[in-house]
Amino acid sequence: MNVISRRVLERIPGNCAFRPIIARRRHLSQKTKPSELARDFAFAFDIDGVLIRGAKALEEGKEALKYLREHNIPWILLTNGGGKSETERVEGLSAQLGIDIHVDQFVQSHTPFKRLVHRYDKVLVVGGDRDKCRHVAQDYGFKDCVMPVDVLASNKSVWPFHRFAQDDFLLSRPLSSEKFDAVLVFNDPRDWGCDTQVIIDVLTSDNGYYGTKSSQLKQTVPIYFSNDDLLWANEYPHPRFGQGAFRRGIETVYKEYSGAELESTIIGKPFLFTYEYAHSVLNDWRRHAFGYTNDVHRVYMVGDNPASDIRGGNGYGWDTLLVKSGVYKDGDKLDSRSKPRAVVDNVLAAVKLAVELEIKHKLKNTST
Ligand code: G3P
Ligand code: MG
């Protein structure tokens, strides 16, 4: 059977049955306010390369969040960034983006480390500026939080090439004699050399006692990385190396040194652990900020990094929208797991497209 276009049918006199449907549809699409659809869908936004580039907020980022706030559409921020407390980061982002962001709608790379507190007491905390990550780890509840600067302060020959300034050592803490239970890489290290040495010293110690060696340099302590981004986007025109580059360096040095493969746990996007965590944060936020008790039907993950944002969103069954304002550039190869639902110029275009899709979805449901 030939498919007669809607337009033709419309013009067939007497075909009154169809006209009201069309009229109603046109009325619905023109009249459907995004806020009427807000209980059915939500957004998870990446930050670097989507809402900001380094210190610079992207205008489309500000407009997109303002639009969603005006239409009461729920959203969370889901970043592989970190290095400071969620509260401090949210305050900074609220100022940068000109909108009040609540800490309950925010997940950064190391936030899910909160779920490890009951397992480990003494942890080596790595990364971030100065001792900020020590304070984050303590706020999460870890009892004994040691940073590489503490180890250097106890014995400078551990890494004679260190670049710590006197006031860095003023922030150091005396080492307890307890054994290390785990190594937690919270954020991008500032001294790859020193951190590599201290991390591998702990991993190959005799059951976590710093300064001892395990037999055959066997790994005796677990290590966690809060994200695996090889690349991320800041103000610089070309993407920069991230924590994932550091992890690959640690793995190579460990293998050369011990002859064995490093065993590590990596969280952050694209990994399931982080998406499950983000999903529960999103539903909690929808419940207490919007009163929605239903599980959200559709989540749009908007990101600039195919390997983390898009692969993770696809793997978790979310809709994914890839923007060109960060890591991803037109023509970059996308493997099957990192193919988004759509590629758009920026986050505002992503939000507008998702709202359009939701209205279409609603129309389809109301007409059937
Ligand atoms: O280390 C990479 C990280 O900064 C990327 O952040 O917001 O793009 O996930 P984001
Ligand atoms: Mg990004």
Give the Cα separation of 12 and 19 in Å (integer). 10
Residue 1 lies in a domain: no
Same domain membership, residue 67 and residue 135? no
Structural domains of the chain, count: 2
Q: Ligand 1 test: best mutation among 50, 52, 232, 323, most atoms within 8 Å of CB?
A: 232
Which pLDDT band, with edges at 50, 70 and 90, does 32 fall under?
Answer: confident
Same domain membership, residue 257 and residue 129? yes
Same domain membership, residue 208 and residue 291? no
Lowest mean pLDDT, pick from 22-36, 112-126, 205-219: 22-36
What local confidence, expressed as pLDDT, does residue 271 receive? 97
What local confidence, expressed as pLDDT, does residue 259 receive? 97
The length of the chain is: 368
Same domain membership, residue 100 and residue 142? no
Q: Ligand 1 test: best mutation among 45, 46, 58, most atoms within 8 Å of CB?
A: 46
From the CA of 305, give the closest atom in ligand 1.
8
What local confidence, expressed as pLDDT, does residue 39 receive? 86
Report CA(232)–ligand 1 centroid distance (Å): 6
Residue 285 lies in a domain: yes
Report CA(48)–ligand 1 centroid distance (Å): 5
Looking at 202, 237, 266, the residue that finishes a domain is 266
Q: Taking CA 313 as the corner, what is the angle to CA 307 and CA 318, rounded to the nearest 5 degrees?
A: 160
Which pLDDT band, with edges at 50, 70 and 90, does 343 fall under?
Answer: very high
What local confidence, expressed as pLDDT, does residue 294 receive? 87
Report CA(205)–ligand 1 centroid distance (Å): 32
Same domain membership, residue 323 and residue 282? yes
User: Does pLDDT of 23 surpass 70?
Assistant: no
Same domain membership, residue 185 and residue 293? no
**CATH (domain of 39):** 3.40.50.1000
Mean pLDDT, range 318-347, rounded to an integer: 97
> Where does ligand 1 bind, in terms of residues with CB under 6 Å?
46-49, 79-81, 188, 227, 229, 232, 242-243, 305
Report CA(261)–ligand 2 centroid distance (Å): 29
What local confidence, expressed as pLDDT, does residue 368 receive? 64
Which segments of the chain are extended strands (E)?
41-45, 52-53, 56-57, 75-78, 106-107, 122-126, 144-146, 182-185, 223-225, 231-232, 240-241, 264-266, 298-303, 319-323, 342-344
Lowest mean pLDDT, pick from 254-263, 297-306, 356-365: 356-365
Report CA(223)–ligand 1 centroid distance (Å): 20
Are the C-beta atoms of residues 74 and 42 closer than 8 Å to each other?
yes
Q: What residue numbers bound the domain in which 281 lies?
A: 6-109+270-367
Which residues, chain by chain, have CB under 5 Å from ion ligand 2?
A: 46, 48-49, 304-305
From the CA of 326, give the closest atom in ligand 1.
8
Which pLDDT band, with edges at 50, 70 and 90, does 9 fall under?
Answer: very low
Residue 280 lies in a domain: yes
Same domain membership, residue 363 and residue 244? no
Report CA(79)–ligand 1 centroid distance (Å): 5
Phi and psi at 209, nearest 5°, equal -85, 110
What local confidence, expressed as pLDDT, does residue 2 receive? 42
Summarize pLDDT for 175-208 with one digit per residue, the tens: 999 999 999 999 999 999 999 999 999 999 999 9
Which pLDDT band, with edges at 50, 70 and 90, does 350 fall under?
Answer: very high
SS3 246: helix
What local confidence, expressed as pLDDT, does residue 13 receive? 42
Which pLDDT band, with edges at 50, 70 and 90, does 334 fall under?
Answer: very high
Same domain membership, residue 288 and residue 260? no
User: Does pLDDT of 143 surpass 60?
Assistant: yes
What local confidence, expressed as pLDDT, does residue 6 receive? 46
Looking at 226, 241, 266, the residue that finishes a domain is 266
What local confidence, expressed as pLDDT, does residue 322 receive? 98
Same domain membership, residue 255 and residue 164? yes
Q: Which of 352, 355, 297 is nearest to 323 (CA)?
A: 352
Are the C-beta atoms of residues 302 and 44 closer than 8 Å to each other?
yes
User: Does pLDDT of 295 surpass 60?
Assistant: yes
Residue 166 lies in a domain: yes
pLDDT, greater one: 15 or 52: 52
Summarize pLDDT for 38-64 with one digit per residue, the tens: 889 999 999 999 999 999 999 999 999
pTM equals: 0.90
Same domain membership, residue 244 and residue 142? yes
161 Cβ neighbours under 8 A, 6+ residues apart = 193, 194
Same domain membership, residue 298 and residue 243? no
Residue 347 lies in a domain: yes
Ligand in closest contact with the CA of 246 = 1
What local confidence, expressed as pLDDT, does residue 21 receive? 52
Ligand in closest contact with the CA of 327 = 2
From the CA of 309, give the closest atom in ligand 1.
9
Looking at 212, 247, 266, the residue that finishes a domain is 266
Which pLDDT band, with edges at 50, 70 and 90, does 15 fall under?
Answer: very low
Report CA(90)–ligand 1 centroid distance (Å): 15
Residue 358 lies in a domain: yes
| One-letter identity of residue 152 | L
